[in-house]
Amino acid sequence: MFELLITMLERLGIIVTIAFILTRFRFFRGLIYHDSLNRRQQYFAIVFFGFFGIIGTYSGMSFSTDNLQFNPWAADLASDEAIANSRVIGIVIAGMLGGYKVGIGAGLIAGLHRLTLGGFTALACGLAAIVAGIIAGRFQKKKNNLNLRTAFLVGAIAETVQMMIILLISKPYDQAQTLVEIIGVPMIISNGLGSALFLMVIKNVVSEEEKTGAMLAQKTLRIADQTLAYLRKGINPESARSVCEILHNEVQTSAVAITNQSEILAHVGLGDDHHCSTSPIQTQITRDVLKSGKLVIANDETIHCKEQNCPLGAAVVAPLKLREETIGTLKFYFNSEKEITNVVIELISGLSNLLSNQLEIAEAEKAYQLAKEAEVKALQAQISPHFLFNTMNVITSLIRIDPAKARTLLVSLSHFLRQNLTATTVSMTTLEQELAHVKAYLSIEEARFVEKLKVTYDIEDVALPVNLPPLTLQPIVENAVKHGIKNMDHDCQIHIAIHKGNRSTIVTVSDNGQGMSKERINLLGKQIIDSETGSGIALFNVNRRLTMNFGEDASLRIESKQGEGTRISFAIPQAEE
């Protein structure tokens, strides 16, 4: 009995080899990571594990109950012979990983094959193979907690049940009893250990792959963190060189290069004496990637570098894309093709996608900045030529009547126009500068509407240093003048209040003009309005820039009643110290 156990344990080396090969198949990863398999995967697993069970049968030893001798290999059996084998291992693993269907299917294949070999236990062993699949399937739902102890117990239980079926079905009973007494314990122990060993090999290989994947993910995230700052403004020779230096240090290659569609932007590492920045693309393989948009692997025969003594022996060339269009390449050079493993290819493919996404982000950020500039210019475009002409006419008329006031208005107009020009060059300004801009505008309006317009201020100086987008306050005030009080002949009032609260600075512009309907209030600042009295684009752009910079809490709040006036306010959150 002991010699049989040792022999069967020795033959578990076959199981280890098959287990390792099994981990190379993609369908097997589905068994490990997914709760269910599709029909095609199930069929593939049934056939695979079924043949694995057949191998377990052939790797066993035939035993004669007549002379109590073992034959090293199992083949066609005589009527008094049976097989001590490891068939149950494949069936147990099939059921534990794939469930009842896979376990029973593998048991049918292995069991039918065992039936064809003959011997007095043929029927019992064939039936036991199916039962083993059912038993193992019982543990499939607990796959997430599957461990070596469970695998050992399931394998041992399945083999114990097989011994019981042999005693119940096989005839003559005395031969069945003799067989079980001799091979029962060794088979229970060896098949339990074999099932655990099979699972251990699978888990170790998969665990190593997961560790490798985690390391690649960490490396990719580290590279992303380092390269984002350089690619934020797009790709150029300076940013490309910085990125290449980071990739060269992280990936440990012979050289790294980045090209656009026509020239080398940067090359770091071996070969930098002839693969120079701003020089034309030298290799045909790069042109092929630019044309196809697909990753290509090249060896020393397919790189086709113009320099005969180029030390670069192999390369992986990946595309850099912007909106699905190939705009350049990312090139990793190696000493030989042997260094380009599947892990390296997967890493380079991921880095290609990563840098492409960063370029997409840079492009989107650039578009965002252009949009902000366009909004400011749209606000500047609200300055009506009529306003300038009317202002100049007022100044002209005052030159003779009141030269001092004419000079004051010229200074106010100069300040007003200068602030409009400055708004295109800065992204933020202070509330103090915005207020000065508004005062310049209103001083002009007060001179135009003599004794008609009265402006009052309620300002807390402590609130004036707060930052906000340029041309935020002036369009609101101009809206009050142009639309709020335009039809009034006298007693036109505009009140501007700036107060600092606990968490924000509140800015309010109110007038005593004609007011507006609730329907218009609901639309104003939220969309551009198709109306004869105005489109509302100024307030729309102001509201949009406030919410983009400070969030929805900073959006314009409009209160108005027809015939009573309008009040527009917004809150600028206090910066955290």
The CB-side HSE value for 363 (13 A sphere, CA atoms) comes to: 11
The residue written with tokens 């290609």 in the block is: 352
Give me the phi and psi of 237, to 5 degrees please: -55, -40
- Reduced to 3 states (helix: H, G, I; strand: E, B; else coil), residue 430 is strand
Which residues, 6 or more positions from 532, have their beta carbon under 8 angstroms from its beta carbon? none
**Whether the Cβ atoms of residue 46 and residue 102 lie closer than 8 Å to each other:** yes
> Residue-wise over 326-347: b if at least 16 C-beta within 10 A, else e?
bbbbbbbbbeebebbeeebeeb
User: Minimal CA–CA distance to 107: which of 89, 83, 120, 80?
Assistant: 89
Strand ranges for 276-402 from DSSP E: 296-298, 314-322, 325-334
Distances 466 to 430, 461, 469, 524 between C-alpha atoms, Å: 6, 10, 10, 26
What percent of the chain is predicted at pLDDT more than 90? Answer: 17
What would you measure as the largest C-alpha separation in the chain, in angstroms? 139
pLDDT tens string 17-66: 776 776 666 656 556 655 567 788 788 888 988 988 888 888 888 888 78
Give me the phi and psi of 409, to 5 degrees please: -70, -35
Which residues, 6 or more positions from 13, have their beta carbon under 8 angstroms from its beta carbon? none
Checking if the pLDDT of 104 tops 90, the result is yes
**Mean pLDDT along residues 239-256:** 87
**Whether the Cβ atoms of residue 114 and residue 125 lie closer than 8 Å to each other:** yes
Domains of the chain, first to last:
1-209 (1.10.1760.20), 234-378 (3.30.450.40), 385-573 (3.30.565.10)
Checking if the pLDDT of 112 tops 80, the result is yes
Query: Whole-angstrom Cα distance, residue 275 to residue 9?
Result: 59
User: Minimal CA–CA distance to 105: which of 37, 26, 157, 156?
Assistant: 37
Which residues, 6 or more positions from 136, have their beta carbon under 8 angstroms from its beta carbon? 91, 92, 93, 94, 95, 96, 103, 154, 158
Predicted confidence band at 327 (pLDDT cuts at 50, 70, 90)?
Answer: confident
Query: Whole-angstrom Cα distance, residue 473 to residue 439?
Result: 11
Range with top average pLDDT, 2-16, 268-282, 338-352, 454-468: 454-468
Strand partners, 454: 493
What does pTM read for this prediction? 0.47
Checking if the pLDDT of 487 tops 80, the result is no
